[in-house]
Amino acid sequence: EIWEIYNATADAHPMHIHEITFEVVNREGLVLDDDDEVVEPIQLDGEITPPAPWETGVKDTVIAYPGQVTRLKARFTTPGQYVWHCHIVEHEDNEMMRPYRIGPVQPGQPA
């Protein structure tokens, strides 16, 4: 799968996806207004950049830079329910995690 992580904030976020490793494909800028804020609805600016040299190979965490979409390529093979989240401590401590499921619903998982 190709995942796209959109960062419309002014801060960089180290994003971590549980249970898999991935490759950073590229990044693309988001259109900004005169105040350097992301235009809504979100639009891509067409400026695509490859991963930095230190981002090649398999990863489990990537920095989602402000005003950009970060694209990742991952293969999901182990059925279950997992989470992805930002590794900023305040975000983790406040349970700012998003669930995702690989495969069909398994017994005991939340709906």
Which pTM does this prediction carry? Answer: 0.89
| Spatial distance between the Cα atoms of 16 and 25, rounded to a whole number of angstroms | 16
Quickly tell me which residue has 């989240």 as its tokens: 85
pLDDT tens string for the chain (111 positions)?
999 999 999 999 999 999 999 999 999 999 999 999 999 999 999 999 999 999 999 999 999 999 999 999 999 999 988 999 988 877 666 667 888 999 888 887 766
Exposed/middle/buried for residue 31 (C-beta within 10 Å: 0-12, 13-18, 19+):
middle
Return the structure tokens found at 96.
């700012």
